[in-house]
Structure 1
Amino acid sequence: MAPNKAAIIDMGTNTFHLLLVELYEDKFETLYKEKIPVKIGQGGISHNTIHPEAQKRAFHTLQHFKNLIDGEGITKIFAFATSAVRNADIGHEFVSKIQEQFHISVNVIDGDQEAQMIYEGIRFSGSLRDEICLMMDIGGGSVEFIIGNQHEALWKRSFEIGGQRMLDLFHYHDPILREEVENLTSYLEDKLLELAMAIKTFNPTCLVGSSGTFDTLTDIYFESLHQKKSRSQQVFQLPRAEFEVIAGKLLTLNKEQRLQIPGMIPMRVDMIVVASCLIEYILKLIPVETLICSNYALKEGAIAQLMGKHSLAALQSR
C-alpha cells in the first residue's frame, strides 16, 4: 500500500498540536510535529466563551499550520476541537470562521469521543497489557478517565475540570496556598464521585497518564537523573516517590522558581501545579507505586483510527 499523507490538528484548550504523518497499514511515520501554547481557554473558558485575544492567537497558529500543511502538499486534514470550543457559546461561529478562512473542517468532539480517542492513542503507544488500568488525560478544559486494558475500554468519562478551569477557580496565589489546595481537593472529591465508584467497581491496578503534564513530569524526573528521554520510546515510568518529590516542590515554588526546574517548559508552568494536585488526589483512589506515562494521546488515537479501524473515507465523512 502506498503511504497516505495526512495532517492531524488537535485544537486543545491549552495547546494546539500539529502532526504531519505518512500512514501505512500498520504504522505511521512522523514527517513533522509542533505544539503551540495557544491557550484558547484563557480569559474565557469559565464564562463559556472564547476571548477575542485567544481567537486571534488561534487564527494566527492555524495560518502557520496551514502553511506547513500546504508546503508538504497534504490535502487530508483532520482537525479536532475539544472542551473550550464545545462549551463556548460562540463555538459554532468560531468553527465556521476557520472553515471560511483556512478551508479546514473542524470536528468538535464530545467528551465521550475524546475519551475514546485518548484510549486508542494510549493503546497504540504500547502502554497497556492485560491488567486493568486507570488512564487519565489532563487537558486545559476537560480531564478524561478511562478504565480498561489493551483489549477494551470498560468505562470512560470526560469531566469538565481541566487545568485552565482549576487555575481560574483555585490558584490565586503563587506559590499556591494550602487552603487553595484543600479547596481544590474538596472540589475534586465532589466532581469525581462517579470516577471513585467506577474505581471500586473495576478495581484498576495501574495508572497511565497521557501526554501533556505527564510528559513534563517525566522530563523533570529524567533531568534529575541527568538522563535524556529516548525519542523512539513512547512509554515512560515515573516512580510514585519521585512524583511526590516533584509535586512537593511545585507546590512551594512561585512561577519564576518553577521555570528554573530542569525539564520544565514555559507552556506548562502555570497548569502543572493544579494538575499535580489532581494526580495526588487520584493516587489516593488508586495507590500505585509507579505512574506509567504515555507519549501518545488524542492525536495518535486519531491516527490509529485512520490506519485501521476506520478507512480514511469513513473518518472524513464523520
Structure 2
Amino acid sequence: MRYAAIDIGSNAVRLLIADVMETANPVTFKKNTLIRVPLRLGDDAFIDQNISTKKVENLVKTMSAFKNLMDVYGVTKYLACATSAMREAANGQEIVHEVQKNAGINLEIVAGQREANIIYASHFEERLDRKKNYLYIDVGGGSTELSFFSDGVLVASQSFNIGTIRILDNQDKAETWKEMEQFLTAKTKAYKDITGIGTGGNINKLFKLSEEKEGKPMSFNKLKSLHHHLSSYSLKDRIQVLGLNNDRADVIIPAALIFITVMKWAGIKNILVPKVGMVDGIIQLLIEENLKQ
C-alpha cells in the first residue's frame, strides 16, 4: 500500500510517497520518493496578503505533476496540506478551487494548531526515554510550531507567526516574539532537562553542517557557533563557497536564529534532529485514520 503527503509551505512545496508496512506492528512506513519545489509562496502572502497569478500558475503546474506521479506510483490515499502562506493569502480559497479544478488535488488549508498536531504525529518522542521532557520545534517559512511533551504526555502546543521568509521580508512582529517567549517561559519553567526535537529542512541542513554523528544531539553552543560561522559569509559565498542551494542559503540564517532563541527561552542545552517533518506526520495520520476505520 502506498500513501502520499503534500506539504505546501511558505518556502517550498513537498511530495512524499511512502510504502506502508502493513505487516509490521505497529504499522510503519518507508520513504519511497521525496520531491521538493521551492515556490516561495510566502514572499507574496506576507507582503501583499495575496499570492500572485504567476505563483498560482506554478503551484497548479506543480500539483499537476504531483498528481501524475501519484498515479504512476499507484498511491491509494493522500493528504495535501497548505500552511502559513495560504492561511494568510486573501485568495487562499480561490487557489484551493484552482488546484482542485486544474490539477485534481483536494487541498486543505490547515490552521496553525492542526499544523503543530501533524508535525508531532510522527511520535518521535516515543522512541526516546518517555519519562523525559521534549520540545518539538518546527521552523517553517511562515510559522514556528512548538509542542511540549513531559512523561509521554502533551503539555502544551502552539503555532506562532514567526518564520524564515517572514523574517527575511521584515514581516515578523515584536509582539509575536514576546508572545512566544511568554508561552515558553510559562509552559517550561517547572521542568528541568528539556531536550529539543528539531524538524524542518533548515535544522536538517544545520545538523549536517555541524558534522555531528547521526542520532546524536547537537548542542546549543554548537548551533550558536554554526550560526555565527554562516553569518560571517555573504549570501553569494554561502552558495559558492559553502555549497548551499540558492533557496537554502538565505533562509538558513533566520532559521538558526529562531532555533537558538527558542532553545534559550526554554533552557534547552541539546537538540535532536530526527529528519522528520510535516510530510512524515501526514503519512502517520493517514496510517492512524486507516487503522481506526
Amino acid at match of 2:97: S
C-alpha contact 2:160 2:176 (8 A) present in aligned 1: no
Residue 83 of structure 2 corresponds to residue 82 of structure 1: yes
Q: Which runs of 5+ in 2 are unaligned?
A: none
Distance 1:239 1:119, change over 3 A: same
Residues 84-129 of structure 1 show CA distances to partners (whole Å, capped at 9, x for unaligned) of 1122111110001101011111121111111111111252783663
Residue 175 of structure 2 corresponds to residue 220 of structure 1: no
Q: Which residue of 2 aligns with 1:14?
A: 11
Tell me the distance in 1 between the aligned counterparts of 2:9 and 2:263. 25
Q: Which residue of 2 aligns with 1:283?
A: 263
Corresponding residue SS for 1:121: coil
Residues 210-269 of structure 1 show CA distances to partners (whole Å, capped at 9, x for unaligned) of 1221101011112xx7xxx76xxxx45223332122100222221012224546333211
Tell me the distance in 2 between the aligned counterparts of 1:122 and 1:34. 23
Residues 161-220 of structure 1 show CA distances to partners (whole Å, capped at 9, x for unaligned) of 1111111117xxxxxxxxxxxx98886235542233222255561111112211010111
Amino acid at match of 1:19: L
C-alpha contact 2:63 2:105 (8 A) present in aligned 1: no
Q: Which residue of 1 aligns with 2:234?
A: 254
Alignment of 1:167-316 (within 5 A): 167-169=168-170, 188-189=177-178, 191-202=180-191, 205-222=194-211, 235-260=215-240, 262=242, 264-308=244-288, 310-311=289-290
Distance 1:125 1:269, change over 3 A: farther
C-alpha contact 1:121 1:304 (8 A) present in aligned 2: yes
Tell me the distance in 1 between the aligned counterparts of 2:59 and 2:94. 14
Tell me the distance in 1 between the aligned counterparts of 2:176 and 2:5. 34
Distance 1:261 1:236, change over 3 A: farther
Alignment of 1:19-38 (within 5 A): 19-25=16-22, 26-38=27-39
Tell me the distance in 1 between the aligned counterparts of 2:54 and 2:200. 26
C-alpha contact 2:60 2:98 (8 A) present in aligned 1: no
Corresponding residue SS for 1:71: helix
C-alpha contact 1:185 1:277 (8 A) present in aligned 2: no
C-alpha contact 1:24 1:307 (8 A) present in aligned 2: no
Distance 1:39 1:128, change over 3 A: farther
Residues 22-65 of structure 1 show CA distances to partners (whole Å, capped at 9, x for unaligned) of 21331112221111111111233233221223223212221221
C-alpha contact 2:7 2:13 (8 A) present in aligned 1: yes
State TM-score, norm by structure 2: 0.88
Identity of aligned residues (%): 25
Tell me the distance in 1 between the aligned counterparts of 2:130 and 2:261. 24
Distance 1:101 1:119, change over 3 A: same
Count residues with an aligned counterpart.
289
Deviation of the 1:313 alpha carbon: 8.4
Tell me the distance in 2 between the aligned counterparts of 1:140 and 1:128. 31
Amino acid at match of 2:77: K
| RMSD of Structure 2 on Structure 1 (CA) | 2.6
Deviation of the 1:17 alpha carbon: 0.9
C-alpha contact 1:185 1:278 (8 A) present in aligned 2: no
Q: Which runs of 5+ in 1 are unaligned?
A: 171-182
Distance 1:127 1:139, change over 3 A: farther
Distance 1:211 1:76, change over 3 A: same
Amino acid at match of 1:33: L
Residue 41 of structure 2 corresponds to residue 40 of structure 1: yes
Tell me the distance in 2 between the aligned counterparts of 1:122 and 1:168. 33
Amino acid at match of 2:72: G
Corresponding residue SS for 1:288: coil
Distance 1:312 1:82, change over 3 A: farther
Tell me the distance in 2 between the aligned counterparts of 1:145 and 1:205. 13
Q: Which residue of 1 aligns with 2:130?
A: 129
State TM-score, norm by structure 1: 0.82
C-alpha contact 1:219 1:263 (8 A) present in aligned 2: no
Distance 1:292 1:50, change over 3 A: same
